[in-house]
Amino acid sequence: MKLEEIISGLDIKGMEGAAEADIQRIAFDSREVSQGDMFVAIRGYEADGHRFIDQAISAGAAVIVCEEEPRETGPDTAWIRVENSRRALALMASAFHGHPSRDLLLIGITGTNGKTTIATLLHQLHTVLGFKSGLLSTIQVLMGDESHPATHTTPDPLQINAYLRRMVDTGCEYCFMEVSSHAIDQDRVEGLEFNGGLFTNLTHDHLDYHKDFREYLTVKKRFFDQLPGNAFVMVNGDDRNGKVMVQNCDAKKHTYSLRSVCEFRGRINEMHLDGSLLSINGTEVWVKLPGRFNASNLLCVYGTSVLLGQHPEEVIKAVSEVTPVQGRFETLKSKKGPTGIVDYAHTPDALQCVLDTIHEVNVTGGKIITVMGAGGNRDRGKRPEMARIAAEGSHKLILTSDNPRNEDPDGILDDMMKGIPSALHGHTMRIVSREEAIRTACIIAGERDIILVAGKGHENYQEIKGERIAFNDMQILKRNLN
């Protein structure tokens, strides 16, 4: 593609070289540059791409996009100076792939909890209704019939636009996309034209990355501030931060709620371990997902689908057919009697919601045994709070490793123990090995008991000392319960 087409949307501060150059590919990793490529120098959190400009030129880069004018490029390499190379990368990625977000209905879902479930259920529901759609989620990327494992909640701009282009080329009409706070802050979704934005909730998370909760909220709000007037916003009316999100937002505003009167209103009539009986805008429907949080998620899915033009009666029918998302309150009824539940809950609010749901559906009165840990090199502030919630909501708590990464696992457990009241220490065990912790829970569980394994959900690995080791909570549960 001609360079002038790729850079047409940029605010260029300086430039030297031929705008007629043909660009073969865009890269922001100098190790991936080859002859005729464009290299975008990005200031990262661990490395500055400007330090690798010489390597990119040696590899054959035709154009360098940067925030600082290069010292020397040579006659065969042009350079373009911009104020923000991250934003420039996103805008150029969209242009390079022909602005694919303009050719389908793109819905972005953001918030602390529920993003994966809502995005996945919207994809499921529209498939049930006969539409072809794409999915960009924490678990997987779906492009029509193609599936790829996900590496990030929200990929980098080059991947996003390549995926969207593939969706358009394979006939997808919709794309449902998780939008993380990291992605918003790092301009990964710049240049995308969203038709709708959904807000789930906002609770304590990612405060290792954001300075404080106020900054976290402000970053999330930025997504809605940038939506155009012809888009729509769907906001959880049960979260006090919902009103803040839509201040200064030009898009048309809609709300859903389980507790108050609003446009899309829901009520839980019955709740069981294998599903719930809900009332959605006055229509009763049995769904295969249990829990108050899932009722809220399904209400958002229903309202969004109606706003996208689907008939309410058809949507209600489809809602009854969608199935639980992998690693999100995923249940296993064992032959030995105990029930296992795997959930991705890795924030205080998510863990509280899962435990509340288990208590509500625990009609047999069995004991609740929770196995959980906390991620290393991440927000340490939530560790004691999550441990307290787990200890107070369980009959037995086994603290173990999550993804310790480069931290000492015992040190992480020490942080968690600080949040557990001394009266509950007798009900708490520490087992560093996650596999051994799950096995122990299965051994001590009685016939009516429920084992919750929280924190990793769908993940099929553990990160330990820089390595990813194969590991899956549900597989370990199946091995020890059946």
Is the pLDDT reported for residue 210 higher than 60?
A: no
In the prediction, which pLDDT does 402 show?
A: 96
- Confidence label for 315 from pLDDT (cuts 50, 70 and 90): very high
Instruction: Tell me the sheet residues that pair with 147.
Output: 142
Is the pLDDT reported for residue 254 higher than 60?
A: yes
Mean pLDDT of 353-373: 94
Is the pLDDT reported for residue 241 higher than 70?
A: yes
Closest by CA position to 304, among listed 133, 189, 436? 133
In the prediction, which pLDDT does 400 show?
A: 98
Q: pTM value? A: 0.91
C-alpha 368/C-alpha 450 separation (Å) is 5
- Confidence label for 214 from pLDDT (cuts 50, 70 and 90): confident
In the prediction, which pLDDT does 44 show?
A: 81
Q: How many CB atoms lie within 10 A of CB 482?
A: 12
Is the pLDDT reported for residue 264 higher than 80?
A: yes
- Confidence label for 45 from pLDDT (cuts 50, 70 and 90): confident
Percent of the chain residues topping a pLDDT of 90 = 83
Is the pLDDT reported for residue 225 higher than 90?
A: yes
Mean pLDDT of 53-76: 88
Is the pLDDT reported for residue 433 higher than 60?
A: yes
Query: What would the pLDDT profile of 435-480 be if each residue is shown by its tens digit?
Result: 999 999 999 999 999 999 999 999 999 999 989 999 999 999 999 9
- Confidence label for 209 from pLDDT (cuts 50, 70 and 90): low
Is the pLDDT reported for residue 265 higher than 90?
A: yes
- In sequence order, the 6+-apart residues with CB closer than 8 A to the CB of 322 are 121, 124, 125, 128, 287, 288, 289, 298, 301
Under 8 Å between Cβ of 10 and 90: no
Mean pLDDT of 69-96: 90
Round to the nearest angstrom and report the end-to-end CA distance of the chain: 57
The amino acid present at 326, given as its one-letter code, is Q
Region of 206 on the Ramachandran plot (φ > 0 left; ψ -120 to 50 alpha; else beta): left
Compute φ and ψ for 344, nearest 5 degrees: -75, 0
Is the pLDDT reported for residue 206 higher than 70?
A: no
Mean pLDDT of 275-288: 97
Query: What would the pLDDT profile of 141-192 be if each residue is shown by its tens digit?
Result: 999 888 888 877 779 999 999 999 999 999 999 999 999 988 999 999 999 9
The amino acid present at 140, given as its one-letter code, is Q
In the prediction, which pLDDT does 80 show?
A: 95
In the prediction, which pLDDT does 213 show?
A: 77
In the prediction, which pLDDT does 205 show?
A: 55
- Confidence label for 207 from pLDDT (cuts 50, 70 and 90): low
Is the pLDDT reported for residue 277 higher than 90?
A: yes
Under 8 Å between Cβ of 41 and 64: yes
Q: Which of 67-76, 111-120, 307-316, 415-424 has the lowest mean pLDDT?
A: 67-76
